Structure 1
Amino acid sequence: MTTPRHPPFPAGTLEHTCKIVAELYSGSELTRILAEIPLRTDPGEGHTKWRRLAHAVSTNQAHTQTGNALIALITASMRPERTLDRADAARQTRDQLNQALSLVALQVRDDGRVGRTSQARTTDEAQARTEHLRGLLQHRGAHPEVLAYCRPELLRKDYYEAVFEAIKGLGSRLRQLTGVDGDGYGLVEATMAGSSPRLRINPLGTRTQRDEQLGLANLAKGLFSAFRNPAAHEPRIEWSLSEQDALDVLGTLSVIHRRLDVATVTAS
């Protein structure tokens, strides 16, 4: 099968993308990534990291008259198995890459592959949407863990990305609190459900307290099932979210985070 030929990238997009990727890895790690692609014009580890990447990619682009080298660099850099030991930093990197690539109608998916998306709106429009949503959430008393996902790069088209990332953020917090590995519905089941949950929002001494624990666990599982899991497996074009729906989902997340603020963790 012939590899699709991506048009060459503008110099600004190429340089910005290389700077973002370079921040995620050490020089020796970038050497391995460049060799894996392969890009054979790497000037070596004695040079600035992002300039090494930009030189190798731009040389290939000039030779082939395609943007395939930059696509390959992003894909190799953002593969889940490569970013596993720096998952939080990789999520920030993906957000930054999507902001840069949105100008050329591309995005980095969770699996590290680069796919098409709608052309970005202007930065001013994204910033205005961010400030508006943040203002509404602050008026509602939203939790800081939720407000962190009101960023322009996540709100360039609609509210889908902000909600998607905020729900993933709940999974990250559950892992940090408990040390339990996992994701989504299964992670909530392993940390908050059952007769002796690892993460307890109250002493569980009465029927009411046990019902509260179960209800919060079911609420978290419902969010993962209704939004996180379908969105992770369906094409982006099939998912969109209104401001009102986003406010409702993010408000529910705030309730869960506030209960986690006072939760206790028991021994496994």
Structure 2
Amino acid sequence: MDIKKLPPIDGSVLEGISKTLGDTINGLTGPEIGKFLQEATINDIDSTNTKWKRLYNAFVTYQNKNKNSNNILKFINISMNPARFIGNHSHFEYLRIELNKRLSFIGLELSESGKFIKTEITATISEAEQRANRLKSKLEQRNAHPEIFKYCKAELLSENYFHTVFEATKSVAENIRQKTGLTEDGAELIDKAFSIKNPLIKINDLSTETKESEHKGFANLIKGVFGMFRNSTAHSPKIIWEINEKDALDILSTISLIHRRME
């Protein structure tokens, strides 16, 4: 069966992709470019040029000859294989988000697994930038806890509400582990960390029944966030578990409150 030929990518988008992958600081190395071009079956016609121009010229020459973008997208898949970024997830996320800003103009998005998924085509640069920054800006207006941005920055920039919520809930568990040295997860982690008899984290001095109730309620709030948003998002397909911007802001504000009370 013939492989479907994908249409050529517009030159300006191709330039943006090339500049991202060929960036002097955050992009691919020269040897990596040569290796991945070969693996993607794209001729390395300008190997002595700067990295981004080397990529751009190779991509343009391929498209002009073959009238499709298949191998260019294959190159992106190869270079953005998550296995290459083990131990350096932040670098992967940085490149992925920068690439997605460009790919949005052709209706594609690079997922966390390094595979392409179809999205709505972005019409203008301003639209792309607004989509990338709106949620982050609104969270800043709410004075969200810095921990939210520490764990969710990449997702916030791509405005992926589903994964933003998922990553933010994970940040709560990670914060508890860092404070207590525990290794458990979920309800077991919370029960041990916020035990009334032997609390590893206290939100008050537990000197009265009312304060004990507040402490228990806080622990149950965390369990609720874990149960409703973390467990569900981990096991439900994104297309089914729909979280809009308003819901995401409310959820993230709750998680921000949790982080503040644990300080």
Q: TM-score, normalised on structure 2?
A: 0.72
For 1:240 and 1:178, the matched residues in 2 are separated by 29
Cα distance, 1:170 vs. partner? 5.4
* Alpha-carbon separation, structure 2, partners of 1:214 and 1:58: 57
Q: How many residues align?
A: 244
2:158 aligned with 1:154 = yes
Q: What SS does structure 1 have at the residue aligned with 2:6?
A: coil
The one-letter code sitting in structure 1 at the alignment partner of 2:122 is A
Contact 1:18 1:50 in 2 (8 A): yes
Inter-partner Cα distance in structure 1 for 2:238 and 2:51: 35
Q: Distance in 1 between matches of 2:241 and 2:123?
A: 18
Partner residue of 2:78 out of 72, 76, 79: 76
Structure 2: distance between partners of 1:254 and 1:240: 21
Task: Label 1:169 to 1:34 Cα distance change in 2 as closer, same or farther (>3 A).
Answer: farther
Residue identity opposite 1:195 in structure 2 = K
Distance (Å, rounded) in 1 between the aligned partners of 2:217 and 2:108: 45
Structure whose alpha-carbon radius of gyration is higher: 2
C-alpha distance 140-221 of structure 1, shift in aligned 2 (>3 A)? same
Alignment of 1:14-29 (within 5 A): 14-22=14-22, 23-29=26-32
Contact kept in structure 2, 1:108 and 1:114, CA below 8 Å? yes
Long gaps (5+) in structure 1: 156-160, 180-185, 263-268
SS in 1 for 2:109: strand
CA displacement, residues 29-74 of structure 1 (integer Å, 9 cap, x when unaligned): 2232222223232533x43222222222222111111011221111
Q: Is 2:164 the counterpart of 1:165?
A: yes
Partner of 1:182: none
Q: What is the RMSD computed on CA atoms of the aligned residues?
A: 3.8
- Residue 112 of structure 1 aligns to a residue whose secondary structure is coil
The correspondence of residues 229-244 of structure 1 with structure 2, limited to 5 A, is 229-230=235-236, 233-235=237-239, 240-244=242-246
Question: Partner letter of residue 254 of structure 1?
Answer: S
CA distance in 1, matches of 2:186, 2:145: 23
Which residues of 2 match residues 35-54 of structure 1 at below 5 A? 35-44=38-47, 46-54=48-56
Partner of 2:2: 2
Rate the CA distance shift 1:250–1:203 in 2: closer, same or farther, 3 A: closer
Residues 130 and 151 in structure 1, CA contact (< 8 A), matched pair in contact too: no
Question: Which residue in 2 is equivalent to 1:12?
Answer: 12
Identity of paired residues, percent? 24
For 1:18, the aligned partner's letter is S
State the partner residue of 2:209.
none
- Listed one character per residue, the Cα deviations across residues 1-50 of structure 1 (whole Å, up to 9, x for unaligned) are 32221101111111110221223322222232222223232533x43222
Q: CA deviation at 1:221?
A: 5.2
Is 1:32 equivalent to 2:29 in the alignment? Answer: no
- 1:225 partnered with 2:228: no
1:265 corresponds in structure 2 to: none
Give the aligned partner of residue 91 of structure 1. Answer: 93
- Written as runs of structure 1 = structure 2, the 5 A alignment for 1:147-226 is 149=153, 154-155=158-159, 161-165=160-164, 167-168=166-167, 171=170, 188-189=185-186, 192-193=189-190, 195=192, 201-202=201-202, 212-213=218-219, 215-216=221-222, 219-220=225-226, 222-226=228-232
Question: C-alpha separation between the residues in 2 aligned to 1:79 and 1:176?
Answer: 29
